[in-house]
Amino acid sequence: MTPVCLPTGPLAVNTYIVPCSAASGFERVFIVDPGGEADAIAEKVGGARVAGIVLTHGHFDHIGAVPQLKALYKDAPLCIHKDDLEYTGKGAYERHRSDFLRVGAAYLVDEFASAYPVFPEADIVFDIHTPETAVLSIAPEWTILHTPGHSPGSISLYHKDGVLLSGDTLFASGFGRTDLTGGSFEQLRQSLAALFALPDDTRVYPGHGPFTIIGKEK
């Protein structure tokens, strides 16, 4: 169970094309964090059926290709945690611009908003909170973990075969920033502790940079 990784968008987000199950392989997949370059993502997807688009959190660099992909894969639901819901739908760009203004990159949001004035609404909203977990309905072999800290609604996705998609919670030799709106170092610390409880040989596929394993990051 190894996802396909494609760095996309202005901040080189790791976009993943993920098998829904071990049995289906890449015949049925979901897309995680499409940061941009929708055409390149669609090329990697090929003829696979897209079961959904999952956002590990709502920050702008992770969602840049959502409008195009939602238009291309009309039956694929857009999935996000309840606590990051304001990053989608009406008013989303105001929230994104506020966040990116703090890091000097509001112009990226402005350019995107001019091309896609209305950001899509979420179709599936995850309403779980640490330490709860839930099954990912579009791919039941995957478990949703609420891992706030980088953002209030950050999630990670875990597969029993020892695969973790950690978003911007955990990186190789690092972890997510907490200085954007809604960030919390204490929540991030608790989220990291929960991830470190997974088996040491769990393969970690983060939102940026190379993959790692849990045992190496403890």
Reported in sequence order, the residue ranges of 33-112 that DSSP labels E, i.e. its strands, are 49-54, 78-81
Q: Is the pLDDT of residue 209 over 80?
A: yes
At 112, is the pLDDT very low, low, confident or very high (cuts 50, 70, 90)?
low
Q: What pTM value is reported for the model?
A: 0.93
| Mean pLDDT in residue range 127-149 | 95
- pLDDT for 22: 87
At 206, is the pLDDT very low, low, confident or very high (cuts 50, 70, 90)?
very high
Instruction: Set out the domains of the chain in order of their start, with CATH numbers.
Output: 4-217 (3.60.15.10)
Q: Is the pLDDT of residue 75 over 90?
A: yes
Cα distance between residue 62 and residue 211, in whole Å: 17
Q: How far is CA 186 from CA 89, 154, 165, 168, 169, in A?
A: 29, 14, 21, 15, 12
* Interval 22-71: pLDDT, tens: 888 899 999 999 999 999 999 999 999 999 999 999 998 899 899 999 99
Q: Per mean pLDDT, which range of 34-43, 90-99, 117-126, 186-195 is the poorest?
A: 90-99
